[in-house]
């Protein structure tokens, strides 16, 4: 008998998800300064800065999913709200973690997870949620991926060692939340060519892509490793958008391969189009990503005045329902107790002593003992 597996949920088209590591000394302070500056500039409608205890206490007033409660490794919880265009609000949470408490390899830095969701399908032209929390400065190292320390905003050279290269490709395909692209340098580029090709992507898509670079002499080893690990390849002087593991439906290695990429600082339209097309393919929602999205939806604290009012009205309704249920239960118990006392009085003649019946009751009459039993039965099951 074959077993049917439940398909994994997909990342909603309204959501933006990312995670990484900050290698600097004061990650939370970097976030705090950026949020204050953006709120003062009118970019943000508001933000909150909560420690795990405050976050858990403030969400304990209403029912929620367990995943909405910050875990023991949580260092800080930040929330921000902004409007990328008129009529659309984005809500986002950034959670920082102690990396040592979450990883066994003792990776340095402070881990973070960001979940953002809009009121309509996400537009890549909107501002990147990461730059709402982290300063968009190369001097602040917040943009390291959890996989092998890769960076978002700079080209990452491929490892020289064959085993390390294959290991890196496997980790990128299985563990990373980002889109990965490998670009081969047909010749050593100048300063303009050393800029990331992904810098021309729209803002929200730019921070979803990690760019790898293969040196001129790595053409064969990189192509061999890609074909062995990911059933893909890398043409000389070209680029390829890497699949996930397993590959998403509709992925074709030849379609997502670009034969010619000119590393002269110009916009590579064909490669950028392939990256955008791959990023638009629905991806499975991993367990950690689902937890972050659940925490955003059910553990949200930064409420507008209208949301505060709606929340208060909802709480009043819940309390009223609970009070009404308690009142009904109390009345039922009281009625059962009064019926039991009346039956007891009838059975004992009012002095607490039983009175034997002088005549057997007929079929249409109930004896005092049966009345008492019935009353106590109502007391045991007041719902009847």
Q: How is the chain split among helix, strand and coil, in percent rounded to 5?
A: 40, 20, 45
| Domain 10-144: top CATH class | alpha beta
Domain definitions of the chain by residue range: 10-144, 147-281, 309-380
Does an H or E element contain 211, and which? strand 209-214
First to last CA, the chain: 46
Does an H or E element contain 372, and which? helix 368-380
Cα 212 from Cα 79, distance rounded (Å): 32
CB 376 within 8 A of CB 333: no
Chain centre to alpha carbon of residue 269:
32
Give the CA angle between residues 87, 203, 196 to the nearest 5°.
175
CB 119 within 8 A of CB 88: yes
pLDDT in tens, 10-22: 999 999 999 999 9
User: 367: which DSSP letter?
Assistant: -
Mean pLDDT over each residue of the chain, to the nearest integer: 85
Cα 163 from Cα 171, distance rounded (Å): 12
Is residue 3 over pLDDT 70?
A: no
- Reported confidence tier of residue 304, pLDDT bands at 50, 70, 90: confident
CB 80 within 8 A of CB 44: yes
pLDDT in tens, 123-157: 999 999 999 999 999 899 999 999 887 999 999 99
**Cis status, amide bond into 246, omega within 30 of 0:** yes
Cα 192 from Cα 338, distance rounded (Å): 91
Is residue 101 over pLDDT 90?
A: no
Lowest mean pLDDT among 87-96, 99-108, 334-343: 99-108
pLDDT in tens, 222-271: 999 999 999 999 999 999 999 999 999 879 999 999 999 999 999 999 99
- Reported confidence tier of residue 384, pLDDT bands at 50, 70, 90: very low
How are beta strands 209-214 and 156-157 bridged, if at all?
parallel
> Tokens at residue 86, please?
């008129």
CATH 2.40.50 fits 147-281, yes or no: no
Cα 103 from Cα 98, distance rounded (Å): 9
> Tokens at residue 323, please?
């009070």
- Reported confidence tier of residue 1, pLDDT bands at 50, 70, 90: very low
Cα 65 from Cα 83, distance rounded (Å): 27
Is residue 297 over pLDDT 70?
A: yes
- Reported confidence tier of residue 104, pLDDT bands at 50, 70, 90: very low
pLDDT in tens, 106-129: 567 899 999 999 999 999 999 999
Residue 256 backbone dihedrals phi, psi, to 5 degrees:
-95, 20
pLDDT in tens, 26-66: 999 999 999 999 999 999 999 999 998 877 766 654 545 55
Does an H or E element contain 46, and which? strand 44-50
Name the 3-class secondary structure at 231.
Answer: coil
Token pair 């973070």: residue: 112
- Reported confidence tier of residue 373, pLDDT bands at 50, 70, 90: low
- The pLDDT score that the predictor gives to residue 330 is 81
């Amino acid at each position: 008998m074959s077993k049917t597996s439940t398909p994994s949920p997909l990342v909603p088209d309204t959501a933006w998800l990312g995670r990484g590591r900050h290698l600097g000394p004061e990650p939370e302070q970097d976030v705090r300064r950026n949020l204050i500056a953006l709120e003062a500039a009118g970019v943000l409608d508001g933000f909150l800065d909560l420690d795990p205890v405050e976050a858990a206490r403030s969400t304990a007033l209403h029912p929620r999913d367990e995943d909405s409660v910050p875990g023991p490794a949580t260092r800080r919880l930040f929330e921000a709200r902004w409007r990328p265009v008129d009529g659309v609000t984005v809500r986002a949470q950034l959670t920082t973690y102690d990396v040592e408490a979450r990883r066994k390899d003792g990776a340095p830095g402070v881990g973070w997870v960001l979940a953002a969701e809009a009121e309509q399908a996400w537009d890549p032209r909107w501002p990147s949620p990461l730059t709402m929390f982290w300063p968009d400065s190369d001097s602040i190292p917040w943009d390291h991926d959890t996989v092998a320390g890769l960076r978002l905003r700079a080209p990452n050279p491929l490892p020289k060692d064959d085993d390390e290269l294959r290991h890196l490709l496997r980790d990128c395909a299985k563990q990373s939340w980002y889109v990965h692209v490998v670009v081969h340098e047909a010749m050593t580029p100048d300063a303009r060519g050393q800029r990331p090709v992904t810098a021309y992507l729209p803002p929200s898509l730019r921070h979803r892509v990690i760019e790898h670079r293969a040196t001129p002499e790595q053409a064969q080893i990189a192509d061999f490793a890609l074909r062995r690990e990911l059933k893909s390849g890398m043409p000389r002087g070209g680029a390829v958008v890497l699949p996930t593991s397993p590959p998403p439906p509709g992925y074709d290695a030849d379609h997502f391969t670009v034969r010619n990429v000119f590393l002269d600082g110009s916009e590579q339209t064909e490669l950028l189009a392939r990256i955008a097309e791959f990023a638009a393919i629905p991806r499975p929602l991993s367990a950690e990503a689902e937890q972050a999205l659940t925490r955003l939806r059910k553990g949200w604290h930064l409420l507008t005045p209208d949301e505060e009012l709606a929340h208060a009205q909802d709480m009043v309704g819940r309390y009223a329902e609970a009070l009404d249920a308690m009142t009904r239960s109390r009345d039922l118990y009281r009625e059962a107790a009064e019926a039991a006392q009346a039956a007891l009085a009838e059975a004992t003649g009012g002095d607490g002593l039983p009175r034997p019946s002088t005549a057997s009751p007929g079929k249409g009459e109930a004896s005092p003992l049966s009345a008492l039993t019935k009353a106590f039965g109502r007391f045991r099951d007041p719902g009847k």
